[in-house]
Structure 1
Amino acid sequence: MPINVKLIDHVVLYVSDMERSVQFYETILGCKVVRHNEKLNLVHMSAGASMIDLLPAPVAEHAGRNVDHVALQIEPFDADTLIAHLRGKGVEPTAPRDRFGAGGTGPSLTFSDPDGNTIELKGPATSA
Protein backbone atom coordinates (compact mmCIF):
# COMPACT_ATOMS: atom_id res chain seq x y z
CA MET A 1 0.00 0.00 0.00
CA PRO A 2 1.72 3.22 -1.15
CA ILE A 3 -0.24 5.44 1.27
CA ASN A 4 0.77 5.42 4.94
CA VAL A 5 -1.09 8.19 6.82
CA LYS A 6 0.95 9.52 9.75
CA LEU A 7 -1.40 12.27 10.97
CA ILE A 8 -3.72 15.05 9.90
CA ASP A 9 -1.32 17.74 8.69
CA HIS A 10 -3.88 20.53 8.46
CA VAL A 11 -7.52 21.38 7.91
CA VAL A 12 -8.50 24.49 5.95
CA LEU A 13 -11.66 26.17 7.24
CA TYR A 14 -13.65 28.89 5.52
CA VAL A 15 -14.38 31.81 7.87
CA SER A 16 -16.64 34.85 7.52
CA ASP A 17 -14.56 37.17 9.76
CA MET A 18 -10.82 36.51 9.76
CA GLU A 19 -9.97 38.71 12.75
CA ARG A 20 -12.72 37.19 14.88
CA SER A 21 -11.70 33.66 13.92
CA VAL A 22 -7.98 34.21 14.60
CA GLN A 23 -8.86 35.66 18.01
CA PHE A 24 -11.14 32.69 18.75
CA TYR A 25 -8.50 30.07 17.92
CA GLU A 26 -5.83 32.00 19.86
CA THR A 27 -7.82 32.73 23.01
CA ILE A 28 -10.01 29.64 23.22
CA LEU A 29 -7.71 26.90 21.89
CA GLY A 30 -4.26 28.43 22.41
CA CYS A 31 -3.35 28.22 18.72
CA LYS A 32 -0.74 30.66 17.41
CA VAL A 33 -0.40 32.29 14.00
CA VAL A 34 2.52 30.56 12.26
CA ARG A 35 2.31 32.27 8.89
CA HIS A 36 0.08 34.57 6.87
CA ASN A 37 -0.15 33.98 3.13
CA GLU A 38 -0.93 37.54 2.04
CA LYS A 39 -1.71 36.53 -1.56
CA LEU A 40 -4.58 34.24 -0.47
CA ASN A 41 -5.29 35.98 2.86
CA LEU A 42 -4.76 32.52 4.37
CA VAL A 43 -3.75 32.32 8.03
CA HIS A 44 -1.86 29.21 9.20
CA MET A 45 -2.28 28.49 12.92
CA SER A 46 -0.48 25.91 15.04
CA ALA A 47 -2.67 23.17 16.53
CA GLY A 48 -0.28 20.82 18.32
CA ALA A 49 1.69 18.92 15.69
CA SER A 50 -0.95 19.88 13.10
CA MET A 51 -2.38 23.14 11.81
CA ILE A 52 -5.72 24.84 11.34
CA ASP A 53 -5.70 27.14 8.32
CA LEU A 54 -8.26 29.92 8.01
CA LEU A 55 -9.39 31.14 4.60
CA PRO A 56 -12.00 33.82 3.80
CA ALA A 57 -15.27 32.17 2.82
CA PRO A 58 -15.88 32.33 -0.93
CA VAL A 59 -19.02 34.06 -2.08
CA ALA A 60 -20.41 31.66 -4.66
CA GLU A 61 -18.09 28.83 -5.69
CA HIS A 62 -18.27 26.91 -2.39
CA ALA A 63 -21.36 28.49 -0.85
CA GLY A 64 -22.69 26.42 2.01
CA ARG A 65 -19.37 24.66 2.67
CA ASN A 66 -17.12 25.52 5.58
CA VAL A 67 -14.15 23.23 4.84
CA ASP A 68 -11.83 23.75 1.88
CA HIS A 69 -9.76 20.57 2.34
CA VAL A 70 -8.16 18.12 4.75
CA ALA A 71 -4.45 17.37 4.38
CA LEU A 72 -3.03 14.04 5.50
CA GLN A 73 0.67 13.75 6.20
CA ILE A 74 2.05 10.60 4.62
CA GLU A 75 5.43 8.95 4.44
CA PRO A 76 7.00 8.13 2.11
CA PHE A 77 5.84 10.46 -0.65
CA ASP A 78 6.61 8.87 -4.01
CA ALA A 79 4.58 10.87 -6.51
CA ASP A 80 4.70 8.32 -9.33
CA THR A 81 3.64 5.45 -7.06
CA LEU A 82 0.85 7.53 -5.49
CA ILE A 83 -0.49 8.66 -8.85
CA ALA A 84 -0.45 5.10 -10.21
CA HIS A 85 -2.20 3.80 -7.09
CA LEU A 86 -4.91 6.48 -7.17
CA ARG A 87 -5.53 6.12 -10.90
CA GLY A 88 -5.70 2.35 -10.43
CA LYS A 89 -8.57 2.98 -8.01
CA GLY A 90 -10.34 5.32 -10.44
CA VAL A 91 -9.22 8.53 -8.70
CA GLU A 92 -7.58 11.33 -10.70
CA PRO A 93 -5.06 13.34 -8.63
CA THR A 94 -3.67 16.78 -9.37
CA ALA A 95 -0.05 17.14 -10.40
CA PRO A 96 2.24 17.13 -7.38
CA ARG A 97 3.65 20.46 -6.19
CA ASP A 98 5.19 21.94 -3.06
CA ARG A 99 2.79 23.32 -0.46
CA PHE A 100 3.17 24.66 3.07
CA GLY A 101 1.95 22.46 5.91
CA ALA A 102 2.43 21.72 9.60
CA GLY A 103 6.05 20.60 9.19
CA GLY A 104 7.00 23.17 6.55
CA THR A 105 6.96 23.13 2.77
CA GLY A 106 6.96 19.80 0.98
CA PRO A 107 5.44 17.81 -1.86
CA SER A 108 1.71 17.20 -2.07
CA LEU A 109 -1.08 16.30 -4.42
CA THR A 110 -4.85 16.50 -4.12
CA PHE A 111 -7.92 14.60 -5.25
CA SER A 112 -11.63 14.43 -4.47
CA ASP A 113 -13.38 11.82 -2.37
CA PRO A 114 -16.74 10.39 -3.59
CA ASP A 115 -18.63 13.34 -2.07
CA GLY A 116 -16.41 16.00 -3.63
CA ASN A 117 -14.35 16.73 -0.52
CA THR A 118 -10.76 17.63 -1.35
CA ILE A 119 -8.08 15.43 0.21
CA GLU A 120 -4.44 16.50 0.13
CA LEU A 121 -1.66 13.96 0.56
CA LYS A 122 1.32 15.83 2.05
CA GLY A 123 4.84 14.45 2.06
CA PRO A 124 7.63 15.25 4.51
CA ALA A 125 8.77 18.86 4.59
CA THR A 126 11.79 19.72 2.48
CA SER A 127 12.05 23.27 3.92
CA ALA A 128 10.64 25.24 6.84
Structure 2
Amino acid sequence: MTVPFSLVGIDHVVFIVDDMDKALRFYHDVLGCRPGYTYPALGMEQVWCGAALIVLWDITHPGGQKAAPPVAGGRNVDHVCIATGPFDHDELRAHLASHGVAIDREALHGGARGMGHSFYVKDPFGNTIEIKGPAEYPDGRG
Protein backbone atom coordinates (compact mmCIF):
# COMPACT_ATOMS: atom_id res chain seq x y z
CA MET A 1 0.00 0.00 0.00
CA THR A 2 1.33 3.43 -0.86
CA VAL A 3 0.32 6.63 0.81
CA PRO A 4 -0.21 9.92 -1.02
CA PHE A 5 2.45 11.79 0.97
CA SER A 6 5.99 11.45 2.28
CA LEU A 7 6.86 11.64 5.96
CA VAL A 8 9.13 14.49 7.03
CA GLY A 9 9.14 14.31 10.84
CA ILE A 10 7.28 15.64 13.86
CA ASP A 11 5.66 19.02 13.23
CA HIS A 12 4.36 19.69 16.74
CA VAL A 13 3.05 18.23 19.96
CA VAL A 14 0.34 19.80 22.12
CA PHE A 15 0.56 19.95 25.91
CA ILE A 16 -2.36 20.90 28.10
CA VAL A 17 -1.39 23.46 30.77
CA ASP A 18 -3.25 25.50 33.38
CA ASP A 19 -0.80 28.39 33.89
CA MET A 20 0.56 29.87 30.67
CA ASP A 21 3.12 32.16 32.35
CA LYS A 22 4.61 29.22 34.24
CA ALA A 23 4.62 27.12 31.08
CA LEU A 24 6.40 29.77 29.02
CA ARG A 25 9.02 30.33 31.74
CA PHE A 26 9.83 26.60 31.75
CA TYR A 27 9.99 26.15 27.99
CA HIS A 28 11.92 29.40 27.42
CA ASP A 29 14.23 29.50 30.46
CA VAL A 30 14.83 25.81 31.17
CA LEU A 31 14.71 24.28 27.68
CA GLY A 32 15.68 27.33 25.61
CA CYS A 33 12.69 27.20 23.26
CA ARG A 34 12.03 30.36 21.22
CA PRO A 35 8.64 32.08 20.98
CA GLY A 36 6.48 30.79 18.13
CA TYR A 37 2.97 31.50 16.96
CA THR A 38 0.40 32.85 19.39
CA TYR A 39 -3.37 32.39 19.37
CA PRO A 40 -4.81 34.64 22.11
CA ALA A 41 -8.45 33.76 21.34
CA LEU A 42 -7.67 30.09 21.99
CA GLY A 43 -5.39 30.55 25.01
CA MET A 44 -2.62 28.91 22.98
CA GLU A 45 1.07 29.68 22.64
CA GLN A 46 3.58 27.83 20.52
CA VAL A 47 7.31 27.63 21.15
CA TRP A 48 9.98 26.54 18.70
CA CYS A 49 11.96 23.48 19.72
CA GLY A 50 14.52 23.32 16.94
CA ALA A 51 12.54 22.81 13.73
CA ALA A 52 9.42 21.55 15.55
CA LEU A 53 6.81 23.28 17.68
CA ILE A 54 5.56 22.57 21.17
CA VAL A 55 2.02 23.90 21.55
CA LEU A 56 0.91 24.99 25.02
CA TRP A 57 -2.87 25.10 25.41
CA ASP A 58 -4.22 26.68 28.59
CA ILE A 59 -7.41 24.96 29.71
CA THR A 60 -8.18 27.78 32.19
CA HIS A 61 -8.64 30.14 29.23
CA PRO A 62 -12.17 30.24 27.72
CA GLY A 63 -10.70 29.29 24.33
CA GLY A 64 -8.96 26.23 25.79
CA GLN A 65 -11.96 24.67 27.50
CA LYS A 66 -12.44 22.08 24.73
CA ALA A 67 -8.89 20.83 25.26
CA ALA A 68 -9.56 19.78 28.88
CA PRO A 69 -9.24 16.01 29.24
CA PRO A 70 -12.51 14.16 29.91
CA VAL A 71 -11.04 12.68 33.10
CA ALA A 72 -9.48 15.11 35.57
CA GLY A 73 -5.74 14.47 35.65
CA GLY A 74 -5.94 12.00 32.77
CA ARG A 75 -2.87 11.97 30.58
CA ASN A 76 -2.82 12.02 26.84
CA VAL A 77 0.93 11.84 26.13
CA ASP A 78 3.62 9.69 27.77
CA HIS A 79 6.57 11.92 26.92
CA VAL A 80 8.20 14.01 24.24
CA CYS A 81 11.84 13.55 23.32
CA ILE A 82 13.79 16.69 22.47
CA ALA A 83 16.91 15.99 20.43
CA THR A 84 19.88 18.21 21.32
CA GLY A 85 23.41 18.87 20.26
CA PRO A 86 26.31 17.75 22.45
CA PHE A 87 26.21 18.85 26.08
CA ASP A 88 28.21 18.38 29.24
CA HIS A 89 26.18 16.14 31.56
CA ASP A 90 27.30 17.93 34.73
CA GLU A 91 26.48 21.34 33.23
CA LEU A 92 22.98 20.13 32.32
CA ARG A 93 22.47 18.74 35.83
CA ALA A 94 23.54 22.12 37.32
CA HIS A 95 21.31 24.06 34.88
CA LEU A 96 18.26 22.00 35.74
CA ALA A 97 18.97 22.27 39.48
CA SER A 98 19.32 26.05 39.18
CA HIS A 99 15.73 26.13 37.87
CA GLY A 100 14.44 23.73 40.52
CA VAL A 101 13.88 20.98 37.94
CA ALA A 102 14.46 17.47 39.27
CA ILE A 103 15.88 14.76 37.03
CA ASP A 104 13.53 11.76 37.13
CA ARG A 105 16.08 9.46 35.55
CA GLU A 106 19.01 9.23 33.19
CA ALA A 107 19.39 6.52 30.58
CA LEU A 108 21.52 5.42 27.65
CA HIS A 109 19.29 3.94 24.97
CA GLY A 110 18.27 4.10 21.34
CA GLY A 111 16.37 6.79 19.53
CA ALA A 112 15.96 8.10 16.00
CA ARG A 113 19.62 9.17 15.89
CA GLY A 114 21.08 6.06 17.57
CA MET A 115 22.24 5.23 21.09
CA GLY A 116 22.62 8.30 23.27
CA HIS A 117 22.31 9.68 26.79
CA SER A 118 18.93 11.02 27.95
CA PHE A 119 17.72 13.03 30.91
CA TYR A 120 14.03 12.77 31.84
CA VAL A 121 12.41 15.76 33.57
CA LYS A 122 8.89 16.99 34.16
CA ASP A 123 7.54 20.37 33.12
CA PRO A 124 5.46 22.27 35.69
CA PHE A 125 2.32 20.40 34.58
CA GLY A 126 3.65 16.85 34.92
CA ASN A 127 4.48 16.32 31.24
CA THR A 128 7.62 14.22 30.83
CA ILE A 129 10.34 15.71 28.65
CA GLU A 130 13.26 13.57 27.49
CA ILE A 131 16.33 15.66 26.74
CA LYS A 132 18.38 13.43 24.42
CA GLY A 133 21.91 14.18 23.33
CA PRO A 134 23.42 13.11 20.04
CA ALA A 135 24.15 9.50 19.28
CA GLU A 136 27.20 8.06 20.94
CA TYR A 137 26.86 4.97 18.77
CA PRO A 138 24.84 5.81 15.63
CA ASP A 139 24.18 2.16 14.83
CA GLY A 140 23.63 1.08 18.45
CA ARG A 141 26.95 -0.77 18.77
CA GLY A 142 29.82 0.15 21.04
Alignment TM-score, normalising by the size of structure 2: 0.46
Deviating 4+ runs (over 6 angstroms): none
Match for residue 121 of structure 2 among 95, 104, 111: 111
Measured against aligned partners, the alpha-carbon deviations of 1:82-108 in whole angstroms (never above 9, x if no partner) come to: 011001110011342212211111001
Aligned residues: 76
CA-atom RMSD, angstroms?
2.6
Gaps of 5+ in 2: 11-72
Instruction: Note if contact 2:105-2:121 (Cα within 8 Å) is conserved in structure 1.
Output: no
Which residue type is aligned with residue 64 of structure 1? G
Match for residue 64 of structure 1 among 60, 74, 94: 74
* Percent identical residues: 43
Partners of 1:105 and 1:84 lie apart in 2 by: 23
Relative to total residues, which structure has the larger strand share, 1 or 2? 1
Partners of 1:99 and 1:75 lie apart in 2 by: 16
Matches within 5 A, 1:71-90: 71-90=81-100
Post-superposition offset of 1:80: 0.8
**Structure of higher RCO (CA pairs closer than 8 Å, 6+ residues apart):** 1
Match of 2:129, SS state, is strand
Say whether 1:92 aligns with 2:52: no
Match of 2:103, SS state, is coil
Matches within 5 A, 1:1-128: 27=3, 48=8, 64-127=74-137, 128=139
